[in-house]
Amino acid sequence: MTERTHATYWLETGDDPRRAAEVIAGEQSSGTFLALPNETPELKQRSGARVERLDVIEQVGQPSLPGGIASSVYTRCTLELSWPIENLGPSLPNLMATIAGNLFELRQVSGLRLLDLQLPPSFAAAYPGPAFGVDGTRRLAGVPQGPLIGTIIKPSVGLDPDQTAEQVRQLVDGGIDFIKDDELQADGPHCPFDERVRAVMRVVNDAADRRGRKAMVAFNLTGDLDQMRRRHDLVQSLGGTCVMVSLNSIGLVGLLELRRHASLPIHAHRCGWGYLTRHPALGWDYAPWQQIWRLAGADHLHVNGLRNKFSEADDSVIAAARAVQKPLFSHAPMRAMPVFSSGQTGLQAPGTYEALGNADLIHAAGGGIFGHPGGIGAGVTAFRQAWDAAMSGTALRDHARTHPELRTALEFW
- 348: contact with a copy of itself by CB under 8 A: no
The span from the CA of 365 to the CA of 373, in Å, is: 15
Per-residue interface string for the shown chain with a copy of itself, residues 315-344, x marking contact by CB under 8 A? ---------------------------xx-
Nearer Cβ to a copy of itself (57/313): 313
- 156: contact with a copy of itself by CB under 8 A: yes
- Is residue 293 within 8 Å of residue 268, measured between CB atoms? yes
- 33: contact with a copy of itself by CB under 8 A: yes
Among the listed residues 11, 79, 143, 186, the single contact to a copy of itself using CB under 8 A: 186
Among the listed residues 75, 151, 167, 352, the single contact to a copy of itself using CB under 8 A: 167
- 28: contact with a copy of itself by CB under 8 A: yes
- 151: contact with a copy of itself by CB under 8 A: no
Q: If we measure between CA atoms, which residue out of 166, 129, 180, 138 comes closest to residue 364?
A: 180
- HEC-encoded secondary structure of 382-400: HHHHHHHHHHHCCCHHHHH
The span from the CA of 63 to the CA of 70, in Å, is: 9
- HEC-encoded secondary structure of 234-300: HHHHCCCCEEEEEHHHHHHHHHHHHHHHCCCCEEEECCCHHHHHCCCCEEECHHHHHHHHHHHCCCE
Nearer Cβ to a copy of itself (329/370): 370
The neighbouring-strand residues paired with 242 are 218
3-state secondary structure of 401: helix
The span from the CA of 126 to the CA of 322, in Å, is: 24
Nearer Cβ to a copy of itself (71/205): 71
- 371: contact with a copy of itself by CB under 8 A: yes
Tell me how far, at minimum, the Cβ of 349 lies from a copy of itself, in Å. 19
Residues in the chain: 413
The span from the CA of 142 to the CA of 216, in Å, is: 9
Nearer Cβ to a copy of itself (252/355): 252
Stretch that binds a copy of itself, among 201-209, 234-242, 282-290, 317-325 (CB under 8 A): 282-290
- 412: contact with a copy of itself by CB under 8 A: no
Tell me how far, at minimum, the Cβ of 399 lies from a copy of itself, in Å. 25
Nearer Cβ to a copy of itself (36/395): 36
- 1: contact with a copy of itself by CB under 8 A: no
- 158: contact with a copy of itself by CB under 8 A: yes
- 85: contact with a copy of itself by CB under 8 A: yes
Q: Return left, alpha or beta for 211; rule: phi > 0 is left, psi -120 to 50 is alpha, else beta.
A: alpha
- 281: contact with a copy of itself by CB under 8 A: yes
Please classify residue 331 by burial: count the beta carbons closer than 10 Å to its beta carbon, then call 0-12 exposed, 13-18 middle and 19+ buried: exposed
Kindly calculate the radius of gyration of the chain based on its CA atoms and give it in whole angstroms: 24
- 53: contact with a copy of itself by CB under 8 A: no
How many chain residues touch a copy of itself (CB under 8 A)?
A: 101
Residues 218-257 that bind a copy of itself (CB under 8 A): 222-225, 227-228, 246, 248-257
Nearer Cβ to a copy of itself (28/348): 28
- 172: contact with a copy of itself by CB under 8 A: no
Residues 112-141 that bind a copy of itself (CB under 8 A): 112
- Is residue 89 within 8 Å of residue 13, measured between CB atoms? no
Helix or strand (DSSP H, E) at 5? strand 4-13
